[in-house]
Structure 1
Amino acid sequence: MARIKPQALLQQSKRKKGPSRISATTIVFYMLILALIGFFLFATYRYWSNRSRFRSQNQLAVSEHETSYADSKKSEIPGYAVLDTSKGSIIVELNKDNSPEAVDEFIDFCQKGHFKGMLFHRVIKHYVIQAGDNQGAGATEDWNLRGKQPTSVKHEAFMLGTSKGKHTNKGFDLFITTAPIPDLNEKLIVFGRVVRGEDVVQEIEEVDTDEHYKPKVSIGILDVTLKQKI
């Protein structure tokens, strides 16, 4: 077998191709592509981040506007009513939060002049005075008996209420308790409390009545005035 001379080996090694080198242009090209991809991802992130923040701020602004609008509408509802009676004035704070429907009905009837000239036709000492359409004495006599049963007190003295159920032009009556009444929760919707004029309520309570608790001398409501503040 013939030996290859050293010179021939050297020439063959020179002919072999060495590893290919990446040119600088290629490196720059790939770096630009990576930079563009990074810029695109960053821009996408900023876009969705700003959009999400904008939506949140917009929803918050709408919510604050709605809340502000609801509060303004709520503040427009009168908070007090002045009952001018033939014995003096009774000022009542309306319970707008716990009895909104009853308060709305009461205000509507006040604006229609429903309570002008309304008489207190039932007066029961240490119990309640009632103004409205006289439907007879049976119901109130029954309440007087039921009120003496030992149950939890839910109606304090000097609370303003009306009968439960649908009210008609003649059916919105007014009750002012003159003592804690245990059993009126099933009968009345309490929508206010007397804040001034308790002495007037007590003076009406002390009038002489017949066997049906009807005052022997007419006592009535001259007018009702609605007020925001007192």
Structure 2
Amino acid sequence: MARIKPQALLQQSKKKKAPSKISATTFMFCGLIVVLALFFLYSTYTHRSIRSSIQRSNTDSELELQDDHGLMDLRKSDIPGYAIFTTSKGPITVELFKDSSPEIVDKFIELCQKEHFKGMHFLRVIKHYVIQAGNTDNLGNTEDWTVKGKHHGQLHASLKHEAFMVGTSKGKRDDKGFDLFITTAPIPDLSEKLVVFGRVVKGEDVVQEIEEVDTDEHYQPKSQIGIIGVTLKQKV
């Protein structure tokens, strides 16, 4: 058997232990894979962050919108929608026009809370025209109302200014000057005299009973008819 020389064994051992060389192409390919992986992870993270931010923003906007609507609905629902006048002839229920006449309704409610209308009398009754409750110092021109009442039958009716509408006179409406008018027939020229802020929904028969009382030459009832009190309600 032939003996192997030590130099030959040493060369064979070096060949086995020597690491294989990595080509430049393989190195670049691996580097590209790493870069793509990092880019993918970054894109995924960014996309999720943006989507979460948008969702939070939309949620906050919806909550804010709901809160705003909720406050508006709450404020609106806090305002009474009806007023019940207890009179010596019976109750009259009035629906308040909170949307079309908000300032007048607010003033009316304020005066109700101050019991402004408690004990107020109906001081003028013009048949087939209007009945008025108020102060003796705020009767206005009786002759003017009398002429309008006499000529009312010759005027054309307006659906907007129908019977059983509730209003107050135009102009100054302080604590003393806020009077009440209830129409008993359609009045086409109503807007010239009154600011309408409600309508009678119950108690039309009571209004008609007041309308039929005996009056003097100044259209003032011969017997007193008064408002005992006013009750404000959300619904009836």
- TM-score of the aligned structures, taking structure 1 as reference length: 0.84
| Further displaced range: 87-96 or 140-149 | 140-149
Q: CA deviation at 1:211?
A: 2.0
Which residue pairs with 1:162 in the alignment? 168
Amino acid in the other structure paired with 1:156: E
Preserved CA contact (<8 Å) 1:153 1:183? no
Whole-Å separation in 1 of the counterparts to 2:204 and 2:231: 18
Residue 198 of structure 2 corresponds to residue 196 of structure 1? no
Q: Which structure 2 residues correspond to residues 161-180 of structure 1 after superposition, within 5 A? A: 161-180=167-186
Q: CA deviation at 1:34?
A: 2.1
Q: CA deviation at 1:151?
A: 6.2
Whole-Å separation in 1 of the counterparts to 2:193 and 2:41: 73
Which residue pairs with 1:87 in the alignment? 89
Partner secondary structure for residue 23 of structure 1: helix
Cα shift readout 1:17-66 (whole Å, capped 9, x = no counterpart): xxxx6431221112211221232223222212221121111111111122
Q: CA deviation at 1:142?
A: 5.2
Q: CA deviation at 1:146?
A: 7.0
Partner secondary structure for residue 210 of structure 1: coil
Q: CA deviation at 1:106?
A: 0.8
- From 25, 28, 33, the equivalent of 1:26 is 28
- From 97, 102, 111, the equivalent of 1:109 is 111
Whole-Å separation in 1 of the counterparts to 2:92 and 2:175: 23
Partner secondary structure for residue 32 of structure 2: helix
Q: CA deviation at 1:91?
A: 1.2
Which residue pairs with 1:11 in the alignment? none
The count of corresponding residues between Structure 1 and Structure 2 is: 210
- TM-score of the aligned structures, taking structure 2 as reference length: 0.82
Whole-Å separation in 1 of the counterparts to 2:92 and 2:119: 15
Whole-Å separation in 2 of the counterparts to 1:143 and 1:129: 13
Judged with a 3 Å threshold, the aligned counterparts in structure 2 of structure 1 residues 30 and 183 are, in CA distance, closer, same or farther, namely same
Preserved CA contact (<8 Å) 2:112 2:230? yes
Preserved CA contact (<8 Å) 1:158 1:178? yes
Preserved CA contact (<8 Å) 2:157 2:186? no
Which residue pairs with 1:141 in the alignment? 146
Which residue pairs with 1:66 in the alignment? 68
Structure 1: give runs of 5+ residues left out of the alignment: 1-20
Partner secondary structure for residue 167 of structure 1: coil
Structure 2: give runs of 5+ residues left out of the alignment: 1-22
